[in-house]
Each structure stands twice: as C-alpha cells, then as structure tokens.
Amino acid sequence: MLYLNLLTWFKRGMVMNVNKNYENISDSYLFSTIAKKVNEYSHANPDKQIIKLGIGDVTLPLCGVVVEALKSASDQMGVKETFRGYGPEQGYDFLRQEVQKYYKTHDVALDSDEIFISDGAKSDLGNILDLFSQDNTVLVPDPVYPVYVDTNTMAGRKIIYADANEANDFLPLPDESIKADIIYMCSPNNPTGAVYNKEQLKKWVDYANKNHAVILFDSAYECFITDASLPRSIYEVEGAKTCAIEFCSLSKMAGFTGTRCGWTVVPKNLENGLLNKMWLRRQTTKFNGVSYIVQKGAQAVFSAEGQKEIQQNLNYYKENAKLISDCLTKHNIWHIGGKHSPYIWLKCPNNMTSWEFFDYLLENVQIVGTPGSGFGKNGEGFFRLTSFGSRENTQKAVDRLENFLE
C-alpha cells in the first residue's frame, strides 16, 4: 500500500518521525476499483456505450452572468487602477455580504464576520479540525462521506458511528447513552440523499448543547431542497448557534466544482466567540484566501439573474433525478433521495451485494453507479446513482433499465 511504502521509506532513510495515523487509512480504493472495472469491461466490449452515473460532479457549465463576472474581474486584474493583490483571508466584504443576504432568505440572521469564504466545503471540513484537540471523540453517521472519517483518522481521533439504515430512513437520531464531542452531519445527505426535518435536527441540537459538543454541519446540497418545511440551514433550528458550525459550497449550487468557492459559518455565540476567533486566526495563518476573480464570479451567483440561471440548472438535475426515481418506483425498487437531493440511494434487488449489483448493471445495461459499501458497512446492499449526468445520458440509462426490467 502507498502509505505503508512511504512510511517504510522514511524509517529506512530518515531520523524524523512521520504521522503514523496514516497507516490506519486505506488507499482510496472505491473509485479506483470502479475505474479499473469499467476500463476492463470497455476493452473487452469496445462496441458498448457505458453511461456513468456514479461520480457526483456537475455537467452543466457555469451560468452566463457568472462567466461575464469572471471575465470582467480578469480584465480588472490587468489594469493598474483596479488590480488586486493579497485579499482578506476571510473573504471580500462584497461576497460575505451576499452570503449574509442569502441566509436572510431562509430567515437566518448572521453577522458578516461569522462568514468565512473558502475554496470549497471539503477543505474546511478537514481544516476545521485544527481547532480541536486530538482527544475529542468524533461521531459520524454510517454510511458517510469518506472525508469525515479520513481526516479524523489522520489526526488520530477516536471515531464512533451512528447507525443510518433502512429502518430509520438513513436519518439516525442521537443516542443519549453515547457521548461525543464532535458530530458530523450532512443534510441533504451524501451518499443517501436523506433530509432531516426541523424536529429531527432539534434533537441533535439539544443533544449537542447538553453534551457541550460541536456539530459540523455539511449543507453542500441545501440548494436542492424545495419543501419550505425542511431546513436548508441548521441555524433555522433554535439553539444551533451555540453548538454548530456550518459548511456550504457553490460546487453543486452553481457548478463551481472546477472553480472552487464556498463558505463556512462560525457563530460568535459558539463557545462565547472563542471558535470564531480561533478560526480567523487559523485562516490568517494557513490560508491566503480565494482569488478575487473567483469571488467576483461567486458574487454574481447571488444576483437576481444569477439565481434565476442557477435555478434552471438545478431544475435540470432535479428532472434527471425524477426520471431515475420514477423508473425505480415503477419496478418496486426501494430507494430514497432524488426529490431534495441529486443522489438516489437504492436497495440492491435480489439481495445482491453492492459490488454484485455494480457488476450486474455494468454487464447487462452498461450503467455505472457507486457501490454503497464504499461509504461504510451500513452501505452494503445499497447503491448510489447521481442525477448530475446529461439529460441525454440519463434518459438513455432509464430507457435501458426500463427495457431490462420489463
């Protein structure tokens, strides 16, 4: 394994010590195994067209108003009078204020200095751990986005799991007999697409406040929620500002997966402002901020025209999800997600394992998804499909499934 080989090399040639916690991280085998299987099948069947509905990356381009803002900002950087050098590590005021106004549309009031602009939620979900000591116990749901587990394993923290399963619709609630210091939550969830309602989130908020724990709330997919009764931010729940840090991103909202921009909210009511001050200190020390050009593009996302254009893109992906969900419903295949999420989480038919179903789809209808077992032990027997493909490929995939399942 890569990490073991690296450690062996260091031990032989160096006196310094490396972080041995890396020995506890497995190679990123999930998507590499998928790629290997797909490549082998393609070489053996060059006449077959494979449709990939496994990777959670967007396919629609940036909307026009964002592209124009990026171009304009680039032009500004070529003129002495408008050139920008180092910017504020926590983000330019013009973008923080737009995020602040965006939260107001969800009836959430934030101060602008509680908002920190980042290069995406994934980075901050790992970097935020700099604020916490190694002896904290971390609670993550299973199945789970691997970054939550791997970043804490790298730091040597104890990790415990909350069982997300079919019986609780993959929305576990707190167990009062379990003590945790750091709690990871994601709603709408990756990989399952499940969404917590306000009453369920209130139970987690109450648990965290009672146990003096901090919730790290990943809301990267909040833009897919259309039901006004479902919270798009944990701060819509009373008491959350004293126990929760929220992470969000423009990756799925506005197609910034290759442009990189997001934000993290650290309330000043959390630990009497201590964590807000610590995060500011951390960012000013270890982060030079998101580029001015990207932040100007991000600002355009929140304009009236930007919101209109990105909503058209989101509706496109939602329609893809509906096509897949309708097909599964027609053939009595249990699934969740899709309605308020770009992911469809389905139960593998005929008691197949996740990898057996992967091979079954690839060999029979040339569709690629993601085996649920790659997200944790509770993902075994389940499978993730994404709605981020093109409409043409999504429709082809559904047609193939329809013909095969008839």
Range of the domain at 321: 22-61+307-405
Q: In terms of domains, do 320 and 294 share one?
A: no
**Residues constituting the chain:** 406
Instruction: Please check whether residue 388 is in contact with residue 317, taking contact to mean a CB–CB distance below 8 angstroms.
Output: yes
- Among residues 268, 303, 338, the one where a domain terminates is 303
Give the pLDDT score at 219. Answer: 98
Split into its structural domains, the chain has a count of: 2
CB 388, CB 56: distance < 8 Å: yes
3-class state of residue 158 by DSSP: strand
The answer on 160 and 79 residing in a single domain is: yes
Do residue 106 and residue 180 come from a single domain? yes
Final residue belonging to a domain, choices 272, 303, 334: 303
pLDDT means over runs of 10, the chain (406 residues): 58 74 80 90 96 93 98 98 97 98 97 97 96 97 94 96 97 96 98 98 98 98 96 98 98 97 98 97 97 98 98 98 97 96 96 96 96 96 97 97 83
Q: What's 233's domain CATH number?
A: 3.40.640.10
Same domain as 273, residue 245: yes
Residue 361 has phi, psi (to 5 degrees) of -70, -45
Q: For residue 358, what is the domain's CATH number?
A: 3.90.1150.10
* pLDDT at res. 241: 98
Domain co-membership, 388 together with 251? no
Q: What's the pLDDT score for residue 26? A: 77
399 and 261 within one domain: no
Query: Other CB atoms closer than 10 Å to residue 81's CB: what's the count?
Result: 5
Return the amino acid letter for 70.
L
225 and 315 fall within a common domain: no
| Domain edge (last residue) among 245, 275, 303 | 303
Give the per-residue pLDDT at 232.
Answer: 98
Residue 72 within any structural domain of the chain: yes
φ, ψ dihedrals at 62, nearest 5°: -60, 145
Considering the domain boundaries, does residue 15 fall inside one?
A: no
Mark whether 119 and 263 lie in a shared domain.
yes
Do 122 and 53 reside in the same domain of the chain? no
Q: Residue 192 corresponds to which tokens in the numbers above?
A: 């399952």
CA 73 to chain centre: 28
Token couple for 230: 């479902």
Q: Does residue 90 sit within a domain?
A: yes
Residues 53 and 70 in one domain: no
Angle in degrees, 0-180, between the axes of helices 93-104 and 292-301, rounded to the nearest 10: 20
Alpha helices in 45-197 (DSSP H): 64-76, 93-104, 121-127, 146-155
